[in-house]
Structure 1
Amino acid sequence: MKLGTTAVVLGGSAAGLCAAGALAPYFNQVLVLERDELPADAEHRRGVPQSKHPHFLLNSGRRAIGELFPGFEDELVAAGGLHLMPSMDAAYLDGKGWSARKRSAMTMIYSSRVLIERVLRDKVRGLSNVAIREGVSVSGLSSRDGAVTGVHFTTSTGDEHVDADFVVDAMGRGSSVSGWLAAAGWPTLETLTLDAKVTYTSRWYELPAQRPPSWWWQHLVIMPTREKGEHPAEHEFLVNLFPIEGNRVIACMGSWGHAMPRTDDTFVESARRVRAPLFAAAMDRCTPTSEVHLTRSTGNVWRRYDRWATPPTGLAFVGDSICAFNPFYAQGISSASLSALLLREHLAGADRLDATFFSRFLAAQRKLLGVPWRLAMARDQGYACAVGTEKPPEWRRRLLAAVSDPAFSFIVGAAREDPVIDAHFAKVFNLDESLGDMLGNPGVLARLVRHGIRAALGRRRVPYGFDPNAEPPATDYSSATATESVR
């Protein structure tokens, strides 16, 4: 059933494209307004500077996109995306050393952000009632009697206006919509913030035509040290050599509160000081294909439209325009696509687009966004450098700082040993289950206690802590836990 004549999406990035897919069945026409000129292929563009950094597509996000656009995953893989099992295909350094390889419950699709968006654009362009207008600058909204009724925008030929039955803000962190609403008489918006001063820097490389025999891994991850005392700042970096399509990798280093290298030379110098020499050694065997790209716009921001007593009708929000996360946690595209899928579900059950519809959608979206938001807070609130409305009292910050990293590593270690914990942890990582639900599960708690006792008695079944100065071990330890059943 059609719910209106025209829907307008502000922004043609991943969030906006997913929103267009959600709206298409319920409106005669969907118009996507995008500031950039969109490339035909998988190329960077000015409006998405973060495309130059690694992007995980979490399982919940890839399923949501697949529901909005059937065949998306197959087309992404056909275009070069890599379907991998991180526990088998990634060399992972946490704590004192490398983790062991073994099969697990989690698989992922690896690709560049630009390829994800190119495949999404191809899917959207296949929808007969969706049009994308490029080179458009949105300048405001029109409203009447508590409802958003249209969009003002500027093109190369002048100012234009389009009437709309439904508008979706997908303009990202820099969205001006809250300001336009305030100017039109809506209340000042409550905004939750926490900026842990994360900075990350990346450079693209082409892999050698022949990988060295010791490179069984495709993804290289080095977690920050938890050791106290003197050490190079680079030991506190989160490091990735992230595989993407076209026999390429993105070398990325990031940190909470540290200055990061900005030039090609300083990038290479810093890479030689991270706490495992394999990162720099692997870069030396690869050919750089880009300059260094640095990003600082990484704070967590939640615009609480759901707390307005009377939110505007005719307007919804997806992606960073409503809730933006520290990119380290890889929640952005998945949260945006889940919001778009949630919107489609609400549209499918609607008779009319009245105030009740929008209040119910915002309430459901609040519950959805709360899961990744709490995960981000659980770590970022522990950093002394963090600022924002959600900065906790000092006693609580110190407690989080002391507990969060060891707790995370304990759960990761338990997941290596126990397939039930592994399955639940995979769900938490992929936003399919909240951390609270996992830790509130009596069966999971019992297994965590059992793991703690076994570890204290030295009865681990899967070894860990392999020498970080050596090559990560290629041995498959899956058989060590193969007799354990998953329930």
Structure 2
Amino acid sequence: MSTWFAGRHAVVIGAGIGGLSAAAALAGHFSKVVVVERDKLPPGAAARPGVPQGKHPHGLLAGGMAALSKLFPGLASSLTQAGALVSDAGADALIEVPGLQPFPRRHLDVHTFLMSRPLIEAVLRNRLAEHENVMLRDSTRVMEIVARPSGDVAGVRVESPEGEQEVLAADLVVDASGRGVPTLDFLKAAGRPVPQESVVGVDLTYGTATYSFPPDATPDFKVALTLAKAPERSRCGFMMMREGGFWYVLFAGRGEDRPPVDEEAFLAFAQGLDTPTIYDTLRKGRRHGEILRFGFQESRWRHFERLESLPAGLLPIGDAICRLNPVYGQGMAVAALEALQLRDLLDAQGSDSGSLATLAPRFLGGAVPLIETAWKMAELADLVYPETRGEKPADFQKTLEMQVVLNRLAIQDADVQKLMVEVRHLLKPATALHDPEIQRKAEALREHAPS
């Protein structure tokens, strides 16, 4: 344990992926870490009310898995023992882009784990329980973050199901609540400025069903993605294997093009995709349970890093900083990468005379490039649609044209395909695609493209 924070306590608000990851990052540096969760946490892999999209598919990008594996050593084994499936992001994925042939099913050695959101939460909770100094308090509502007379953080006021309130004293409060309300309320109550925000309004709706397939009709892929022909159409489809022999099937649309919740209309929606792959596959399968819908209005990035200061002992993380369009599956990975960065900062803290007063600005500044890569990828895909609310970057059209060229190049060139997958999975920064050799190949392809 770091001698700098020995004897100090931390409280984490929220037991989602961000909160569990943050608790793992803190466990080696604080004498006591308490994770406070409003929901009653299930003993196993079951959905809970506090994750409204928890019954929908969640993609854990390879970069997120790499970060979680450092926070929870041996996690890959824990996940596979619990039923998660391993997938090669190239060989096992069928990616269909309108106007292009499907991406070749090459082995790219970029592996992902396919599972439900409840399963990964359950595994992380079990692994976190191995830390004797970490405690999960469920069915506990956070009322407010409490301040010291100096204005710094003193702890968190919580309420039990019976209405009893108490203050959990803390030297550090990590807000992984999702919407960041405790942090914003604390800043407002103290008369401090709240962060500026970047917002991209998408008005997205997706619907999810669970299917199974007989042995003679099992798909020859583990993941299938049919993209929309943007900007004319927004309808896209996604299939993913998950534990228990089941498959997630998700359809998404924008505005009034909402996936229906009855099976006949759901299949008709599938038939309206730009390619027939998913529709033809579903006709051979059997649906289980109800069809669920989830709506997402806007991505929101709160720029805490631009504030002159934050009260000492206050640290937002994950969705409390940036809530990304979930259709791109980036949220869990970004939260895990942020938590790993937090651990790395704490590891270095004891040797550089750092303190809790300097932790937040260092963390928030370091989180910017982690968020920016994911934000720009989502922003590019979302702002293609004229009805999307948000300001286009100055280089938007140039970046969009380059993305089209890179897609075509990746079909021909395995090295480019792998690099694009690594960037998409947050294993490498987007600047890796600016490599002069790749740019040369892209320019050559552009020059020889049919007019």
Q: Distance in 2 between matches of 1:367 and 1:89?
A: 29
Q: Is the 8 A contact 2:106 2:414 kept in 1?
A: no
Identify the residue that residue 167 of structure 1 maps to in structure 2: 173
Q: Distance in 2 between matches of 1:181 and 1:227?
A: 40
Q: Is the 8 A contact 2:63 2:425 kept in 1?
A: yes
SS at match of 2:266: helix
SS at match of 1:188: coil
SS at match of 1:51: coil
Identify the residue that residue 417 of structure 2 maps to in structure 1: 422
Q: Distance in 2 between matches of 1:253 and 1:75?
A: 30
Tell me by how many angstroms 1:135 deviates.
Answer: 0.3
Identify the residue that residue 188 of structure 1 maps to in structure 2: 194
Q: Is the 8 A contact 2:207 2:261 kept in 1?
A: no
1:210-262 deviation line (CA, Å, top 9, x unaligned)? 1327x32222211112485xxxxxx6312011111111111101123343134
Identify the residue that residue 212 of structure 1 maps to in structure 2: 217
Seen in structure 2, the aligned counterparts of structure 1 residues 378 and 261 have a Cα distance that, compared at 3 Å, is: closer
Tell me by how many angstroms 1:177 deviates.
Answer: 2.1
Q: How many corresponding residue pairs? A: 441
Tell me by how many angstroms 1:339 deviates.
Answer: 0.6
Q: Is the 8 A contact 2:211 2:287 kept in 1?
A: yes
| Worse overlay, 32-41 or 352-361 | 352-361
| Worse overlay, 173-182 or 250-259 | 173-182
1:260-281 deviation line (CA, Å, top 9, x unaligned)? 1342243233123223333223
Identify the residue that residue 33 of structure 2 maps to in structure 1: 30
Amino-acid identity (%): 29
Letter in 2 for 1:256: R
Which consecutive unaligned segments of at least 5 residues does structure 1 have? 229-234, 458-487
Q: Distance in 2 between matches of 1:205 and 1:342?
A: 38
Letter in 2 for 1:150: G
Tell me by how many angstroms 1:69 deviates.
Answer: 0.3
Identify the residue that residue 281 of structure 1 maps to in structure 2: 280
Q: Is the 8 A contact 1:148 1:314 kept in 2?
A: yes
Report the TM-score, using the length of structure 1 for normalisation: 0.85
SS at match of 1:151: strand
Seen in structure 2, the aligned counterparts of structure 1 residues 364 and 86 have a Cα distance that, compared at 3 Å, is: closer
Q: Is 2:142 aligned against 1:138? A: yes
Seen in structure 2, the aligned counterparts of structure 1 residues 219 and 445 have a Cα distance that, compared at 3 Å, is: same
1:14-60 deviation line (CA, Å, top 9, x unaligned)? 11000000000011111000011111111111111212222111111
Q: Is the 8 A contact 1:314 1:353 kept in 2?
A: no
Q: Distance in 2 between matches of 1:326 and 1:227?
A: 17
Q: Is the 8 A contact 1:298 1:325 kept in 2?
A: no
Tell me by how many angstroms 1:426 deviates.
Answer: 2.1
Q: Is 2:182 aligned against 1:149? A: no
Q: Distance in 2 between matches of 1:406 and 1:288?
A: 39
Matched ranges for 1:367-386 at <5 A: 367-386=369-388
Identify the residue that residue 485 of structure 1 maps to in structure 2: none
Q: Distance in 2 between matches of 1:392 and 1:275?
A: 26
Matched ranges for 1:356-435 at <5 A: 356-387=358-389, 390-392=390-392, 400=396, 407-435=402-430
Seen in structure 2, the aligned counterparts of structure 1 residues 301 and 438 have a Cα distance that, compared at 3 Å, is: same
Aligned Cα RMSD in Å? 2.3
Q: Is 2:432 aligned against 1:438? A: yes
Q: Distance in 1 between matches of 2:332 and 2:40?
A: 21
Q: Distance in 1 between matches of 2:143 and 2:159?
A: 7
Matching residue within 4, 15, 28 for 1:12: 15
Q: Is 2:230 aligned against 1:236? A: no
SS at match of 1:285: coil
Q: Is the 8 A contact 2:236 2:273 kept in 1?
A: no
Q: Distance in 2 between matches of 1:22 and 1:120?
A: 13
Which consecutive unaligned segments of at least 5 residues does structure 2 have? none
Tell me by how many angstroms 1:319 deviates.
Answer: 1.1
Tell me by how many angstroms 1:80 deviates.
Answer: 1.7
Identify the residue that residue 253 of structure 2 maps to in structure 1: 255
